[in-house]
């Protein structure tokens, strides 16, 4: 077994001057004395402070402490920080502070009351939902209408919400462009514009759409751009659309800008036929809370979720074959803890932001170093401890070598590991007595409502045969008898489907 504290160097060069930047701030977490400072100390209004306190958010994170004093004076900002560091409130609070709500003084005097005054653009549906949720929480004591617009959902409810009026809109590029073309979305009154995860926009091919959207807003707007890295195309966009931005980097000197020091990283060479057994043991580690299992393909995600559920784990899946409604319900169940294992593909998992994820398991080796960093960034968030485990198949050895060298992880030769390997139990604090199946007394899946089980992805259909979904009986006889009678033919049908389709790599 190889373990590393995760000291990773991004190799990112300093961002060139952007329209004569007002300042270039590099601040270490250790240099910030935040223990005695509340949000009020940074100029945040009392209604927002009270709303955050109600959510247990009292002290700002470093990126927030650096951003708020500048953003609240409406200076353009480039915020560079890892995902999971709390940057949403760093831009969300200034957005809310600048908005005039329907019951606020001066609302009737606006040029177009009800037209969006602030816009946040996110690369993925899941991130848009998360950002909107954080804004709603922070604005709980303000009469502000916040509307989410993104693909995978019907147009009509989103159109109706915009026609009723919205002070803040959070959306993804594709749906925003569509609504602009239909002349349903009016961005002429936008005073605050936020571009979140700009580098992900670039990776997903959205940068041209983003520039179209930004061009539809007034040039006098207040602009905030947040990105984990600053590729050349993002720098060029900042040059074009921002005015003397302050570049803020919230650094942690112990992790050199990419991995989180609270995350323990371990790498195993696992045999393809034994990986599910190893995974089942890892998921029974002591003090495990929520866990995310990453795969490279949709088919593999569905298979792993199915296998885990058969072993008694409360499992949901998140991949490109699922409809948007199913993806949202799976995430909601995961956040609430009704499902504590989420099997996801890389694309579908972009934007997952859940604080109490204790374990990330790379069931299939990531494609590259950036994907590796993105995956393990789902744990060790907001100061919490985390564990990241990566399985490296024999055929993945060259790929892993590139990742290891790029990130200087010090794990060139992952140790061969099976579900019986003693070091597995010692490394991850697993009771040697556990088996590959969760004891019946610990199975929590039966606590889900039947309709929730149906919506949790590929595994839902099988669960729905268990009756009411509450571990008891349903109509038409004994639940256990029905399950046993249906399970065998269903298993045979799945096996035939697998044999027919082979190992097709259908990327999500």
From CA 445, how far away is CA 438, in angstroms rounded?
Answer: 11
CA atoms within 13 A on the CB side of 331: 23
* pLDDT given at position 131: 93
Q: Which residues are CB-neighbours of 21 under 8 A, at least 6 positions away? A: 244, 245, 246, 247
Token pair for residue 383?
């100061």
Look at strands 77-80 and 246-251 and give their pairing: parallel
Helices (H) and strands (E) in the chain, counts: 19, 16
Return the pLDDT at 441: 67
What does the block give as tokens for 182? 């239909």
CA–CA dist 260, 84 (Å, integer): 10
At 192 the pLDDT is 97
Give the span between the Cα atoms of 91 and 75, in whole angstroms.
Answer: 12
**For position 152, what pLDDT does the model report?**
83
* Cα separation, 278 vs 417, whole angstroms: 8
CATH code of the domain made up of 18-251 = 3.40.50.300
What is the rounded CA–CA span in Å between residue 233 and residue 253?
Answer: 27
User: Could you tell me the fold of the domain covering 263-501?
Assistant: Rossmann fold (3.40.50)
The count of other CB atoms within 10 Å of the CB of residue 185 is 25
pLDDT value at residue 10: 28
Q: What single DSSP character describes residue 99?
A: P
Same CATH fold, 263-501 and 18-251?
yes
Q: What is the pLDDT, as a whole number, of residue 370?
A: 80
User: Which class for 467: exposed (0-12), middle (13-18), buried (19 or more C-beta within 10 A)?
Assistant: buried
Token match 């709500």: residue?
A: 101
User: Pick from 476, 127, 462, 137: which is nearest to 306 by CA?
Assistant: 462
Q: Which residue from 434, 107, 82 is spatially nearest to 229, judged by alpha carbons?
A: 82
Check if the beta carbon of residue 316 is closer than 8 Å to that of residue 342: yes
Q: Which long-range contacts (CB under 8 A, 24 or more apart) does 138-141 make?
A: 138/48, 138/51, 138/52, 138/89, 138/92, 138/93, 138/96, 139/48, 139/51, 139/96, 139/168, 140/51, 140/54, 141/47, 141/48, 141/50, 141/51
Alpha-carbon distance 467 to 481, whole Å?
10
Concatenate the DSSP letters of all residues of 3-28 into one string: EE----B--PPPPPPSSS-SEEEEEE
pLDDT at 255: 43
Which of 222, 49, 75 has its CA nearest to residue 141? 49
Q: Minimal CA–CA distance to 314: which of 326, 295, 330?
A: 330
Q: How far from 470 is each of 51, 118, 445, 461, 482, CA to CA, in Å? A: 35, 44, 8, 15, 15
Q: Encoding tokens for residue 175? A: 């749906």
229/199 Cα distance (integer angstroms): 6
Q: Is 27 exposed, middle or buried (0-12, 13-18, 19+ CB in 10 A)?
A: middle
User: What is the model's pTM?
Assistant: 0.63
Residue 477: in which H helix or E strand, if any?
none
- CA-to-CA dists, residue 152 to 98, 389, 480, angstroms: 30, 32, 36
Contacts of 275 (CB under 8 A, 6+ apart): 363, 391
User: Beta strand 341-345 with 315-318: parallel, antiparallel or unpaired?
Assistant: parallel
Residue ranges covered by each domain of the chain: 18-251, 263-501
Structure-block tokens of residue 484? 């046993």
Provide the sign of the torsion angle of the four alpha carbons 200, 202, 208, 210, taken in this order: positive
Tens place of pLDDT for every residue, the chain, 508 residues? 433 322 223 233 333 344 544 555 554 444 445 556 889 999 999 999 999 999 988 888 888 888 999 999 999 999 887 666 788 999 999 999 999 999 999 999 999 999 999 999 999 888 899 899 999 999 999 999 999 999 888 999 999 999 999 999 999 999 999 999 999 999 999 999 999 989 889 888 899 999 999 999 999 999 999 988 888 899 899 989 999 999 888 654 444 434 456 788 999 999 999 999 999 999 999 989 999 999 998 899 999 999 999 999 999 988 877 877 888 888 888 988 899 999 998 866 666 777 789 999 999 999 888 888 888 888 877 667 889 999 999 889 999 999 999 888 888 889 999 999 999 999 999 999 999 888 876 765 434 443 444 444 444 434 333 333 333 333 333 333 333 333 434 444 444 444 444 444 444 4
How far does CA 220 lie from the centroid of its chain?
A: 31
């Amino acid at each position: 077994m190889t373990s590393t504290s995760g000291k990773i160097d991004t190799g990112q060069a300093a961002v060139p001057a952007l329209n004569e930047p007002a300042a270039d701030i590099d601040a270490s977490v250790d240099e910030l004395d935040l223990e005695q400072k509340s949000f009020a100390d940074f100029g945040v209004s009392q209604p927002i402070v009270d709303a955050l306190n109600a959510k247990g958010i009292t002290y700002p994170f470093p990126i927030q402490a650096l951003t708020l004093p500048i953003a609240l004076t409406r200076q353009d900002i480039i915020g560079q920080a890892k995902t999971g560091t709390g940057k949403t409130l760093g831009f969300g609070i200034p957005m809310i502070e600048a908005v005039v709500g329907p019951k606020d003084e001066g609302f009737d005097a606006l040029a177009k009351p009800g037209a969006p005054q602030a816009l946040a653009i996110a690369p993925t549906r899941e991130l848009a939902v998360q950002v909107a949720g954080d804004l709603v929480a922070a604005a709980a004591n303000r009469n502000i209408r916040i509307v989410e617009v993104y693909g995978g959902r019907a147009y009509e409810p989103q159109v109706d919400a915009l026609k009723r009026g919205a002070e803040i809109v959070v959306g993804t590029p594709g749906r925003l462009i569509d609504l602009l073309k239909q002349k349903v979305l009016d961005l002429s009154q936008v005073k605050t514009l936020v571009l979140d995860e700009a580098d992900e926009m670039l990776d997903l091919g959205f940068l041209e759409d983003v520039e179209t959207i930004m061009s539809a807003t007034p040039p006098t707007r207040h602009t905030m751009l947040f990105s984990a890295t600053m590729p050349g195309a993002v720098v060029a966009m900042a040059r074009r659309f921002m005015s003397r931005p302050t570049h803020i980097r919230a650094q942690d000197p112990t992790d050199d800008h990419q991995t989180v020091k609270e995350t323990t990283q371990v790498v195993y060479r696992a045999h393809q036929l034994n990986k599910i057994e190893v995974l089942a043991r890892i998921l029974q580690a002591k003090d495990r809370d929520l866990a995310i299992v990453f795969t490279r393909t949709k088919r593999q995600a569905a298979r792993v979720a199915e296998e885990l559920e058969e072993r008694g784990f409360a499992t949901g899946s998140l991949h490109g074959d699922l409809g948007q409604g199913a993806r949202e319900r799976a995430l909601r169940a995961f956040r609430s803890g009704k499902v504590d294992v989420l099997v996801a593909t890389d694309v579908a998992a972009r934007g997952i932001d859940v604080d109490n994820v204790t374990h990330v398991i790379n069931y299939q080796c990531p494609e590259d170093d950036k994907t590796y960093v993105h995956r393990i960034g789902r744990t060790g968030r907001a100061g919490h401890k985390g564990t990241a485990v990566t399985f490296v198949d024999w055929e993945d050895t060259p790929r892993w070598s590139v990742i290891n060298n790029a990130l200087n992880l010090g794990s060139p030769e992952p140790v061969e590991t099976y579900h019986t390997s003693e070091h597995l139990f010692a490394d991850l604090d697993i009771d040697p007595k556990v088996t590959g199946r969760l004891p019946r007394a610990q199975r929590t899946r039966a606590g889900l409502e039947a309709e929730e089980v149906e919506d949790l992805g590929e595994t839902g259909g099988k669960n729905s045969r268990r009756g009411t979904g509450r571990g008891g009986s349903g109509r038409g006889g004994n639940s256990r008898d029905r399950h046993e009678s249906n399970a065998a033919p269903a298993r045979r049908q799945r096996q035939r489907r697998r044999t027919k389709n082979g190992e097709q790599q259908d990327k999500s």
